[in-house]
Structure 1
């Protein structure tokens, strides 16, 4: 009987390795000539760039003519671990930051309503017209 766990772990390891190769091509230092074709789910660049890159990164050659359809999904999982910049964020981090900003904005609006010390519920009868 074939055990699923070792096979799944092996597949995850392979996907993460492949993702890291593509991620490094697209996000790595001095790799600005690479692009991502969303329609074909492939790394794209000129042949000259491919030839130069593959000469020093042999494992990347597999992605020259093959798609990697899980790249976007795996990026959302692994990108923070591989982030180069000091302030890298995941989608969860960004949502938390937005929520904090929303609370601060709501508090400012409440303070703004009380700034002129106006009563909100004033009828026309109470006004000097």
Structure 2
């Protein structure tokens, strides 16, 4: 998928155009919706499915190129997520980019010069990247505690595995 240009004597590198990237992200979203992902790793079936889809760009691509770009997009997502977690940074849906005042950018880039890349970079697919890469690790976000269980369900025959003990009157 894409133009192959020599990166070394025995390797080629895929040049991803914006149209190719949109197509690839659509393929990734399809695999996520099919539940062909475990955590942040796509299942073997996902890669196979994506390879068998006929690309309308005319150039064949291999699993290595897809995995490499998947990793690059994940890095980009994490970089932007990290920026958005800092004070003074926010996402502008209209501009499709991370925004902050010049003072905030200047101060941040002094400490993190690699962030300069995102100062003027539009990310038209960031919302899609959120669907693909967000919540892919166990962080406790969807776990339940005993406070989340409706104890009335136990009475109706649902076994929650929680035992209730009578509360003793502590006033004597």
Give yes or no for TM over 0.5.
yes
- Shorter-normalised TM range: 0.5 to 0.7
| Distance (whole Å) between structure 1 residues aligned to residue 100 and residue 137 of structure 2 | 22
1:20 aligns with 2:78: yes
Which structure is higher in strand share? 2
2:89 is aligned to 34
Number of residues of Structure 1 aligned to a counterpart in Structure 2: 88
Q: Report the CA distance between 1:64 and its aligned residue.
A: 0.4
Question: Where does structure 1 lack aligned partners over 5 or more consecutive residues?
Answer: 94-100, 108-129
- Higher gyration radius (CA): 1
Name the counterpart of 2:128: 73
Q: Using structure 2 for the length normalisation, give the TM-score.
A: 0.44
- What is aligned with 2:119? 64
User: Structure 2 CA distance, aligned partners of 1:82 and 1:39?
Assistant: 29
Identify which of structures 1 and 2 has the higher relative contact order when contacts are C-alpha pairs closer than 8 Å and 6+ apart: 2
Over the aligned positions, Cα root-mean-square deviation in angstroms equals 2.6
Alignment match of 1:51 (pick from 106, 114, 123) = 106
In 2, Cα distance between the equivalents of 1:32 and 1:22? 13
Task: Measure how far apart 1:48 and its partner are.
Answer: 0.9
Which has the larger share of helix?
Answer: 1
